[in-house]
Structure 1
Amino acid sequence: MVFNPEQNLAKIRTVSPLVHNITNFVVMNFTANALLAVGASPVMAHAVEEVEDMVAIAGSLVINIGTLSPAWVEGMKLAMKAASKIGKPIILDPVGAGATPYRNAVLTELLATASPTIIRGNASEILALAGTNVQTKGVDSTASSKDSIDAARALSLQYGSVVSVSGATDVIVSGEKTAFVENGVPLMTRITGMGCSASAIAGAFAAIQPDPFDAAVSAAATMGLSGEIAYRKVKLPGSFQIAFLDALAEITPAQLAELARIKHQLT
């Protein structure tokens, strides 16, 4: 399979898709700025009174369970149901899956409401979501992305979703197909909201690319290469966060075509 991250990035900047985020308090600002930097248009709307209307005008829906409350969960379910009904891509970020019984119960409810187009999380979250008994550390991963390939494949086959697992090497699974994206720098793990922004960026790509496997791979490559570009300039987390947003804004399709390190295999 040929992936087209450079063409997809160019299309985002032409179309500027509206990405509807129901996300957590911690990352709203950074996520919105990341979407703006890459060329998309963010909206953060979680009220049950408007989520269905917002889904109708958005290009994709991103559900992030980082800071849960019953009212937000109801909004998530209404939005997912609406998106599924009209065929809008749904990206689910199962933040902290496996950490608490409530979080696990919410994920069960959401997955019963609608099958996500893309599930994007770290290795521990994907393992927990697949029912593997794994020790979590809050929202941080205690496993490597490559440890989660079997769990990602099981989720992909169960829900018909593309599963994107972040790590030193990002692993993206679609049924029996697997892709590996080797871009990125370790400092990215020290910035809060980086994974949540990766899910939002996946939403931007899914909004303009009907193949969710291509969209998920393109998003991972864009995030990782932007991290590399930022790291050339700064080496500390505070300034890196700003440099990363700048890199998302300045990365070019030509750079993606040349520097994205993507491997693909059938298994």
Structure 2
Amino acid sequence: MTRTPETLLDHTCSTLDGVRAQAPLVQCITNSVVVNFTANVLLAIGASPAMVDIPGEAGPFAQAASGVLVNLGTPTGEQREAMLEATAAAHAGGTPWVLDPVAVGALPVRTPLAHTLRDLRPDVVRGNASEVMALAGSGAGGRGVDASDAVDAAVPLACSLAESTGGVVAVSGPVDVITDGRDLARVGNGDVLLTRVTGGGCALGAVMAAFAAVDDDRLVATVAATTVYTVAAELAAERATGPGSFAAGFLDALATVDADTVRRRAAIS
């Protein structure tokens, strides 16, 4: 497939319809701060969430799931074990999985874990510029969960990381960059209110797993997930009076956004 902005937009719309038709089952091994929000985001977009993060269950469930999210936000000892179990099972069973290396860099527990998971070849890596650079082996990470590096500074390392994993790397920012190491797409939608709601980035990783379950082209699926998600954020922001009303409106927008709206508003380049 020739990946022009036009073809990416066409596949974005068809993949959105596919998610709603298939209701992919997404296993989320994610941080305790965002569990509820992530589950509600998946339900709103038309997927089915499953927060299965117990060793002994995580592996078998990953083989049965449509997609898996591994988020390093609050990596307890038991959850770390479940992450390794689930990713090994996902790889063996052909289940697409997303790695969100939250706050990696200088922190001594999550950083080596992130590198171990990276070497297990995630289908998608999603993070801010500082997280992606640290995961690629350069930089000390950001300020907690906030990036201290610009998106464009991370692009060369994102391409290198994608080549080494054989998957896709999505760098979040004012304009999101998605690359498989060969092709590169930018998505210019979104709103700053998305950064003022806990879980705004984390839940996007779960949506990427849902879209990857529907489209085998990981770049196409990741662009589609990012575009739909950020268009919904714009729709919610237009009606919001602050972060609280935005959060509720965002779930409504995810549930109601359609292909025609995405086609009118998408800023894919």
TM bin (shorter chain): over 0.9
Which consecutive unaligned segments of at least 5 residues does structure 1 have?
none
The alignment's TM-score, normalised by the length of structure 1, stands at 0.96
Q: Work out whether 1:116 is the aligned partner of 2:122.
A: yes
CA contact (8 A) 2:133 2:141 kept: no
Corresponding position of 1:161? 167
Q: Work out whether 1:18 is the aligned partner of 2:19.
A: no
Q: Tell me by how many angstroms 1:154 deviates.
A: 1.0
Q: Percent identity?
A: 40
SS in 2 for 1:105: helix
Deviations 1:207-247 (A, max 9, x none): 11110000100011011100100011013111111111111
Q: Work out whether 1:40 is the aligned partner of 2:40.
A: no
Q: How does 1:183-262 map to 2 (within 5 A)?
A: 183-262=189-268
Deviations 1:58-94 (A, max 9, x none): 1011100100122111110110000001111010000
- AA aligned to 2:239 is K
SS in 2 for 1:232: helix
Q: Tell me by how many angstroms 1:135 deviates.
A: 4.8
CA contact (8 A) 1:99 1:137 kept: no
Q: Tell me by how many angstroms 1:144 deviates.
A: 2.1
1:53 to 49, 57, 60: 60
1:84 to 91, 96, 102: 91
CA contact (8 A) 1:169 1:180 kept: yes
Q: Work out whether 1:182 is the aligned partner of 2:182.
A: no
SS in 2 for 1:21: strand
SS in 1 for 2:212: helix
Which consecutive unaligned segments of at least 5 residues does structure 2 have?
none
Question: How far apart, in 2, do the equivalents of 1:88 and 1:64 lie?
Answer: 16
> Number of residue pairs matched?
262
SS in 1 for 2:38: helix
The alignment's TM-score, normalised by the length of structure 2, stands at 0.95
Question: How far apart, in 2, do the equivalents of 1:33 and 1:199 lie?
Answer: 13
Q: Work out whether 1:145 is the aligned partner of 2:151.
A: yes
Question: How far apart, in 2, do the equivalents of 1:135 and 1:5 lie?
Answer: 31
- AA aligned to 1:103 is R
